Amino acid sequence: MNIYHFLYTKYFLFIAIGMCFHVMGEINIPKEPFLFVRHGRTDWSKEDIALGPLDLPLNELGIQDAEKAASILKNIEKEEVVIISSELMRTQQTAAIIAEKIQLPVHVLPNLYERYFGDFRLLKESSLENILSPDAETQEAFQQRIDKAFSNALNAEAFTGKCKIIVAHSHIFKYLSFLLTGEKASINYGDVFLFKPSDNNKAWSLQKIETTSSKLKKS
């Protein structure tokens, strides 16, 4: 083994250890429920490719995913909610389909895009569990970006008193679910989940939503 191969191997081992033992972030958000929707599928979804912030549109199945989410959310009283999307095309298209169903505008906020996997961004998700490319976004940087972006989104004065519908990405959902509930969770394309705070400062609850009533409780 030459010195370059040795150092390269040691680098990836260091990154893998860091991914396992990183310190969870802190997020300053109001103790109010919010809904999380994962965007619909793209042409690369079936290959389980880690796109990160690479921008691709929804395909036909992705449009169906978005329509499924819109159908779940169609009965929400629109005066109670606001739709917030990451800036990537697949999330904006998903949010637009939901918005058309419930007749609301979409607010596109920066820095809610998916985690950047660098030179390995076109590999399968499963192969990224233990290694990262040298130019990838670190777990710490990803967490800090999402902590700030989510805090800005949920604390925005213009959205006060509204239940936020966040249309974003799977790695953001995984991070938030573990940060707020203390448990690992996954989300499929077009799924809708409700994050709800507890009454006594304990971990938040997480519930997959299959339908919504006309009134979304804030308590």
- The domain tally of the chain equals 1
Domain-embedded: residue 215: no
3 state SS of 144? helix
Domain-embedded: residue 217: no
pLDDT interval class at 27 (50, 70, 90): confident
Which of 34, 54, 29, 31 lies closest to 44, judged by CA? 54
Lowest mean pLDDT segment, chosen from 8-17, 55-64, 130-139, 197-206: 8-17
Q: Residue 152 belongs to a domain with what CATH number?
A: 3.40.50.1240
DSSP state of 175: H
Predicted pLDDT at 69: 98
Lowest mean pLDDT segment, chosen from 41-50, 78-87, 147-156: 41-50
Contact 183, 177 (CB under 8 A): yes
Domain-embedded: residue 214: no
Rounded to an integer, the average pLDDT of 17-24 is 39
Range of the domain at 11: 3-208
Domain-embedded: residue 213: no
Distance in angstroms (rounded) separating the CA atoms of residues 153 and 150: 5
